[in-house]
Structure 1
């Protein structure tokens, strides 16, 4: 058990879920502290039956803190988390700032727990779209190395934060009422629409969200030879990201073998009965910590190809749940050493 745990960003969309998970999963520490911006400092929140006052986040906030769980924008993570490391804390970070730093572990506990246990300083949690895809790739990769991946994502507006979901709700109302809505999170209307750009333009016409899926997947699986071709699309769904994934492996993996591999892998649930219209849907996966897979079938264009559909709650396994699982992993290891 850790003595003092500090939570950054506890009042945000991901932070709220993280706080609830820590309560529900009975994560123990002798002391919890909640750090926030100067604007939020002084407000109170309830946690594990107690009332806590939000403290202003400064570079001097981490004295005596052993574990930091952080869900903040990249610039905040870049500015403040080095001070936590200097103070001797272990940091679990949800931002994108540290993920591809060579010295930083990028961790999904079901896949590479040893990276967290061997880490010094910051442990990064992957991008939400990467997390669910790599969860699905891992059992296949262990059975036969993955050589190529083609993935298209259908990402919920909650991935753009509270303002993204507000844009969906208010924009939809305005559209149905024949009125205009001034969108805050998106460059185009998201209501009754699909936007084939998430993030800024990067190399070769790909976006930052797409390139995260390339680089983070290779780092987590420890294989820079995997070829990945991503397309990321924002759709008018409030929560849960969906992905169509086609995988080519060194040897052919049948749909039946893949079904068994998925079912045996921790954190994956298979829902796959096309005849009875049964497959994962954002509406049914919302609020779950699992990664759901269905529509498992051969890729009819490649002898070693397999295609499937994947849905996961991007605010939970794609963010808050993964961070809490890392914290639990560290606490368990600490108790055994």
Structure 2
């Protein structure tokens, strides 16, 4: 662990100011400033340039911060490894997950985890990008889709299936699914896409009373950069969209959205719990993975058993 002088310096860098560093460390602002001054005197180099408005690191300060951060990471890893020998999961743990999985999956899992292990102190980072677990000091990541080659350890905790959704208000003039006109009606609806999807969206569904497939092509009228944004636009009746079932389970159950066509579903997308520990994962990480698996299974059962799965029959 870092001594008080380097710890003050690292906290200044991470918080961006001496004032905020003092608040985080629960010591006087003057003490933090004095610690930085003493550290620079001991090292014989200037680590930061200070003005009334900002603090910037010198090249020496940047190098020293990188080394101190490495020490903190090693200290945290050592503590986590020792925790595997303890009786119960405890201490800090950082989890990252896509925004769309926080409410239906990660939050229930964390609630279960902290109720069972009250000494556990999880931190959640919601981010749709796959973060660098080592560089960002993350203990566990919930990752959707195929994983690249890496030294990270991964365990499959579930899978997502996409659901073609619409608000009930769009179904006023919908033909029955058994009606050949259903496909044409579906094709005529406005489509909401993710900003990463192509200019033209294509889906395939089985033709009515036939083993053949019908290709549907949509030119999106709206786009969003998150699943939550797309779901919100869909609930407002602005168009139809293809959304992960776990993200819209509550909407389907409460009737805010309706599943238009089960048959449009592509292959399921795997979801993994990924951690950076080479051998034995800390007990907190192992417990978190089991909590995520359990939460996934629960929400999947609710999706299967709940109402709102199908549109006009």
Higher relative contact order (Cα pairs below 8 Å, separated by 6+ residues): 2
Larger radius of gyration: 2
Bucket of the pairwise TM-score, normalised by the shorter protein:
under 0.3
User: Taking structure 2 as the reference length, what is the TM-score of the superposition?
Assistant: 0.26
Structure with a larger share of its residues in helix: 2
